Amino acid sequence: MYKTKTWNWEVGQRTIADMTPNSDHKWQEEIFISPDGEKASAVVCLDDAEFSIRTNDSVSENTFEKLWELNYTTNGDLCCYAMQDEEWTVMVADKPWEETYGFVWSPLFSADGKNVATAVQQDMEYGMSVNGAIWETLFENANNFAISPDGKKSAAVVQVKSMGQADLKTFRSGIFSIAVDGVAWDNNLMNLWTPVFDNNAYRVAAQVRLTLYDYSIIVDNTLWENTYQGVWEPLFTPDGKHVVAPVRQGGKWGMAKDGQLIWQATYANCWHHQFSEDGENLYAIVAPEYGKFTVAANDKPWEMRSPVVTDLAVSPDGKKAAALANTLNKDWRVCVNGSVWDGSYDMAWKPVFCPNSEAVAAKVRKNGRYNVLVNGKPVGGEFDMCFDPIFNADGSKVLVRGLHDGKALRVVANVPK
Amino acid sequence: MSIQDRKIEDEGLAYGVSKLTTDKIQQTFQALIDNETGAKLKAFSESCMRCGMCAEACHFFVSHGDDPSYSPVGKVSQTMTKLLANDGKVTPDDIYGMAQIAYTECNLCRRCVHYCPIGIDVAYIMTTIRRFCHKLGVTPQYIQDTAHSHSATMNQMWVKDDEWVDSLFWQEDEAREEFPNLRIPMDKEGADFYYSVIAPEPKFRTQLIYQAAAIMNEAGCDWTMPSMPGWDNSDMCMYSGDFEMMGRLKRQHFELAQKLKVSRIVMGECGHAFRSIYDNGNRWLGWKDYPVPVVHSIEFFAELFEQGRIKLTGKIQEPVTIHDPCNIIRGYGLMDKLRYVAHQLCDNIVEMYPNREHNYCCSAGGGVINCGPPFKKVRVEGNLAKANQLKATGAKICIAPCHNCHGGLEDVIHHYDLGIELKFLGDLIYELMEKPE
């Protein structure tokens, strides 16, 4: 993910830039801080239909009629969609791709941030472009976009057959498929969702609905033999050899591996499953009882129960998991391996484990003020807004990036024992 | 008149029925009774006293010359009672009629429930019949097409991903002519709320997005709109009986809010979408309540007025009446807030009789209008009751804070030549609010 070794890890706080909106600008949009905490950027409106990107104190000379979806990639490049003369392109590190499109949306990044993919519409046909190279074949429609972890392959659900208005028979005959790098599988199906790649070999799995009632999983264009009352997102095992997905049978949810149940269908719901890196442990958010959610590790639910559980994260060593619990989107709490940290918050963000799995951090908000908690304790100060914390390689320090009184701040703190 | 005497040709129903056998019908019914119903259906089925109190409560009955086959108890008799009495041994032709009754002659408005001495929920029974028909593949063509759209695009109008975002940009640009620094902040993480709409807004009623942006902008709201699928809060799968897809849609909708880390979702002026979120879809997914609070526009506008965040230049002086959408009022109790907002905007409110939770349905809700042109005549004629209500008020304007109600009332107003203008609350707020010079 992040190449943190070259970053400045000297403990202390530094002001990166005063990002107070410039009175010469008509307005300034949301501020983003680079992963290393050294740059703060925002889209600024200079004049009617004249937008640019401000980074720290300077404004890019590149101006466009419209800019949106500004964000930093994991390798620190600033990425954004830009429109000029009714044509859209992608800006990466202040350089626009040469290719232009009718429209662009749904940006996707490789794990290292070096490869950028986007959904594109060109002459009312749909597909994807990776690093400025559009698919050779485009389709009547495309959605549910995905790229491989290394960013070299892209996939989407595509419409391969036309259908007239309210044409039920054609729809049921199957008009959708999965296209990988623009090449559609020959299975035409009623519905497909959430294609996902494996880690290494560019295999692809997706959810499928075969009839109005029968759901299953398709892997590299081959359907599982069994069908279910429902399925959620499939996931490859880390070695790429198997596919695991939550499935619904007899009105309850369980987990299936290559079409065979590995967790019996006993849950009111089961979703957001994740493997440990070694594939030994499988975690998921589950509801052992109606209205009561928790996390299950290898089909063993934690004792903790909450009306809502979200944002499951698994530690690099696979021995721990963390998740967020809340009630009616309030009273947010951080849970690690079933233990709930003291303190509740108005909002919390997905927990982040340090590389050695010993510490876990989470960004939280209470009464409009943002903090980063590490192992349950606030570090780095309080902010008007802040970004997800990032640990250094040995997990001894944490970088906190935040905004306070218009200033972008970079704080490095020791991880509390 | 029985359903056999008023069958309407529909491609979806005909296609579905053509695939049926009596065995399949019976097996499907038995599976439904065994696996998806229980004490509730049994209690409702066995406790009806045939008192007929529900009949006068139904606009279809009242509007069709008190024809008992249109009464709630009559509709139950022709569907669930018949199925139970025969252990599901009915003909494909019977199923056609049952589907027509359940999908097009009952709005699931629950008015009859209020008049039933023992509280039998006919809407639940009709919903169960719809579920049964869905399982048999016998659904009206147009509502099924909407359900297909939901499954393929996560919105009900086949709106493609780029068309949605482009519509937001378009409305933002248009609105900047009037409000120079207006923004529709896209995918803003941590905002107070995300504003969700139903797919007809980007498709046919983009001015509603414009107006909403103007109101949020002038009220100084911390808000966002999502660029990703899940933005459409509507859910015709709830009404077609495809609960699995209903759940999938609600998951997308709520998880979008969770991803954006907003405190709540504010919904545009829609009724059925609200029901799918506070009652049906959320619960199908295993959440007892909603995982992210959802606020209907009525509540949201009331909040803005209470906090003095909307300044008006004046009030409507013409007589204005209020339609009470079933899913928001009878189903959720927002009648007082609706009136509070309406009185902020209008000096001369003339209530319909009956009103509030006793008001008649628009005859379009419950997915009935989504069953499309074949059933329009029955739907409109089925709401003479509403036409009479509207006419009696002498109002020049009718406020209806629901999309389907708008569709239904437009047809009623046109058919009965009532000369009444229909408005959303957002229309009136936008019209009356202070704007930049």
What is the chain B residue with the closest CA to A86? B166
CA B265 vs. chain centroid, Å, equals 18
- Calculate how close chain B gets to A80, using CA atoms only, in Å: 13
pLDDT tens figures, A6-19: 999 999 999 999 99
Of A27, A209, A268, the CB nearest to B151: A209
What order do you get walking across the sheet with A142-147 strand by strand? Answer: A142-147, A154-159, A176-180, A183-184
Pick among B11, B144, B161 to test the A interface (most A CBs inside 10 A)? B161
Read off the pLDDT of each residue in B29-51 and give the average, rounded to a whole number: 94
Residue type, B299: E
Read off the pLDDT of each residue in B20-27 and give the average, rounded to a whole number: 98
> Would you state the pLDDT for residue A56?
96
| Interchain CB distance below 8 Å, A169 and B12 | no
pLDDT tens figures, A348-395: 999 999 999 999 999 999 999 999 999 999 999 999 999 999 999 999
Residue B34 in contact with partner chain A when CB distance is under 8 A: no
What's the mean per-residue pLDDT of chain B? 96
Residue B162 in contact with partner chain A when CB distance is under 8 A: yes
| Interchain CB distance below 8 Å, A168 and B261 | no
Confidence tier at B63 by pLDDT (50, 70, 90): very high
Residue A69 in contact with partner chain B when CB distance is under 8 A: yes
Which residues does A86 contact at the CB level (< 8 Å), separation at least 6?
none
Model pTM score = 0.97
Residue type, A41: S
Contact residues, chain B, for A143 at CB < 8 Å = 153, 160-161, 229
Find residues 352-391 of chain B whose CB sits inside 8 Å of chain A: 372
The helix or strand, by DSSP H or E, that contains position B113, with its residue range, turns out to be: helix B111-115
Residue A249 in contact with partner chain B when CB distance is under 8 A: no
- Calculate how close chain A gets to B283, using CA atoms only, in Å: 8
What is the chain B residue with the closest CA to A46? B181
Two structure tokens written together for B240: 């077609």
Contact residues, chain A, for B285 at CB < 8 Å = 269
pLDDT cut 90: percent of chain B above it = 95
pLDDT tens figures, B146-193: 999 999 999 999 999 999 999 999 999 999 999 998 999 999 999 999
What order do you get walking across the sheet with A222-223 strand by strand? Answer: A191-197, A204-209, A215-219, A222-223
| Interchain CB distance below 8 Å, A329 and B228 | no
What is the chain A residue with the closest CA to B255? A310
What is the chain A residue with the closest CA to B258? A310
> Would you state the pLDDT for residue B2?
84
| Interchain CB distance below 8 Å, A168 and B181 | no
| Interchain CB distance below 8 Å, B162 and A26 | no
Length of chain A: 417
| Interchain CB distance below 8 Å, A290 and B288 | yes
Pick among B141, B146, B162, B231 to test the A interface (most A CBs inside 10 A)? B162
Give the per-residue SS3 of B75-111. HHHHHHHHHHHCCCCCCHHHHHHHHHHHHHCCCCCCH
Residue A176 in contact with partner chain B when CB distance is under 8 A: yes
Contact residues, chain A, for B289 at CB < 8 Å = 291, 307, 328
> Would you state the pLDDT for residue B279?
86
Residue B353: what are its φ and ψ, rounded to 5°?
-125, 125
> Would you state the pLDDT for residue A207?
98
Residue A60, number of CB atoms within 10 A of its CB: 18
In the predicted model, is pLDDT for residue A417 greater than 80? no
> Would you state the pLDDT for residue A201?
84
What is the chain B residue with the closest CA to A288? B286
Find residues 83-142 of chain B whose CB sits inside 8 Å of chain A: 134-135, 137, 141-142
| Interchain CB distance below 8 Å, B287 and A121 | no
Domains annotated for chain B, with CATH where assigned, are 3-139 (1.10.1060), 150-303 (no CATH), 312-432 (3.40.50)
Pick among A212, A228, A312, A328 to test the B interface (most B CBs inside 10 A)? A212
Question: A293-298 long-range contacts, Cβ below 8 Å, gap at least 24?
Answer: A293/A269, A293/A325, A293/B286, A294/A338, A295/A321, A295/A323, A295/A335, A295/A338, A296/A263, A296/A267, A296/A270, A297/A321
Confidence tier at A79 by pLDDT (50, 70, 90): very high
Read off the pLDDT of each residue in B362-375 and give the average, rounded to a whole number: 96
> Would you state the pLDDT for residue A251?
95
| Interchain CB distance below 8 Å, B229 and A143 | yes
Longest CA–CA separation in chain A, Å: 65
pLDDT tens figures, A295-353: 999 999 999 999 999 999 999 999 999 999 999 999 999 999 999 999 999 999 999 99
Read off the pLDDT of each residue in B395-422 and give the average, rounded to a whole number: 97
pLDDT tens figures, A175-222: 999 999 999 999 999 999 999 999 988 999 999 999 999 999 999 999
Contact by Cβ (8 Å): A371, A385: no
Give the per-residue SS3 of chain A. CCCHHHCCCCCEEEEEEECCCCCCCCEEEEEEECCCCCCEEEEEEEECCEEEEEECCEECCCCECEEEEEEECCCCCEEEEEEECCEEEEEECCEECCCCECEEEEEEECCCCCCEEEEEEECCEEEEEECCEECCCCECCEEEEEECCCCCCEEEEEECCCCCCCCHHHHHHCCEEEEECCEECCCCECEEEEEEECCCCCCEEEEEECCCCCEEEEECCEECCCCECEECCCEECCCCCCEEEEEEECCEEEEEECCEEEEEEEECEEEEEEECCCCCCEEEEEEEECCEEEEEECCEECCCCECEEEEEEECCCCCCEEEEEEECCEEEEEEECCEECCCCECEECCCEECCCCCCEEEEEEECCEEEEEECCEEEEEEECEECCCEECCCCCEEEEEEEECCEEEEEEEECCC
Question: B390-393 long-range contacts, Cβ below 8 Å, gap at least 24?
Answer: B390/B321, B390/B352, B390/B418, B390/B420, B391/B416, B391/B418, B392/B352, B392/B353, B393/B319, B393/B321, B393/B350, B393/B351, B393/B352
CA atoms of A24 and A45, how far apart (whole Å): 9
Q: Counting one residue from A and one from B, how many pairs have CB atoms under 8 Å apart?
A: 113
pLDDT tens figures, A90-99: 999 999 999 9
Contact by Cβ (8 Å): A263, A254: yes
Find residues 306-335 of chain B whose CB sits inside 8 Å of chain A: none
> Would you state the pLDDT for residue A344?
97
Q: List strand residue ranges (DSSP E) for B146-236, in order.
A: 193-196, 223-224
Find residues 91-120 of chain A whose CB sits inside 8 Å of chain B: 102-103, 105-106, 119
Helix pair angle (B206-219, B297-306), 10° resolution: 30
